[in-house]
Amino acid sequence: SAVISQKPSRDICQRGTSLTIQCQVDSQVTMMFWYRQQPGQSLTLIATANQGSEATYESGFVIDKFPISRPNLTFSTLTVSNMSPEDSSIYLCSSTGAGGPGETQYFGPGTRLLVL
Amino acid sequence: SQQGEEDPQALSIQEGENATMNCSYKTSINNLQWYRQNSGRGLVHLILIRSNEREKHSGRLRVTLDTSKKSSSLLITASRAADTASYFCATDKGGLVFGQGTRLTINP
């Protein structure tokens, strides 16, 4: 299994600003993922954070809007850039832990973002 | 984009009854996972079922998988008020592709 923490847990931001969300895993992991959950909706995969290379983004998400860093095997950040009210969502990171691809994915508690 | 559909979208039952939620997906899978989310909080992993498995149990939970029909179901037996939550299925393509979710309400 994997224990995942995120910071901040919530934030209220002004439009046009940026927020960086941190995700920490309690063990070295190969794969980390970022998801968005808009109000009342299901989760949507934003990108896969790859250690030592560029993140892989899903359709509809771009690096300029959601830059991701993965400096080591336990940590990743997601930045929500030039925010608008439509970015108000819960942002969650996940990892398969030591299990690797195709195994159970564990989620952090999420970062609740409100953009005014 | 969402991989599939879940039905029903909302389900309300009395405590002690069984709850069944269904999930359909579109592409071939390696595994399918079920999660619970309480009121906008983090996701709790319930069960992972692999493509070569047909049924799996965990306590009061039973998950079935029919790859020929590209569908899965989650059965919660003897429901409790604490089971009130949203339930999501997700298929694994590296990252997870989630269904729309079923909002389950257990009435005391």
pLDDT surpasses 90 at A104:
no
| pLDDT of res. B1 | 44
CATH number for the segment(s) A4-115: 2.60.40.10
For residue range B52-93, list pLDDT tens digits in order. 999 999 999 999 999 999 999 999 999 999 999 999 999 987
Of A31, A47, A102, the CB nearest to B31: A102
Q: Is the dihedral of CA B67, A108, B40, A81 positive or negative?
A: negative
| pLDDT of res. A91 | 97
| pLDDT of res. B53 | 96
| pLDDT of res. B42 | 84
- Which residue would you say has higher pLDDT here, B2 or A69? A69
Label residue A89 exposed, middle or buried (CB < 10 Å: 0-12, 13-18, 19+). Answer: buried
Compare all CA atoms of chain B with the CA of A33 and give the residue at the minimum distance: B95
> Taking CB atoms and an 8 Å cutoff, what residues of chain A touch B94?
31, 33, 48, 101
The CA distance from A16 to the nearest CA of chain B, in Å, is 25
For residue range B27-43, list pLDDT tens digits in order. 888 899 999 999 867 89
| pLDDT of res. B4 | 64
- Which residue would you say has higher pLDDT here, B6 or A37? A37
CATH code for the domain of B74: 2.60.40.10
Mean pLDDT of B94-102: 91
Structural domain containing residue B57: 5-107
| pLDDT of res. B3 | 58
- Domain borders along chain A are 4-115
Mean pLDDT of A61-84: 96
Write out the DSSP string of B38-98: -TT--EEEEEEEETT-SEEEETTEEEEEETTTTEEEEEE-S--GGG-EEEEEEEEESEEEE
Number of domains observed in the structure of chain B: 1
pLDDT surpasses 80 at A99:
no
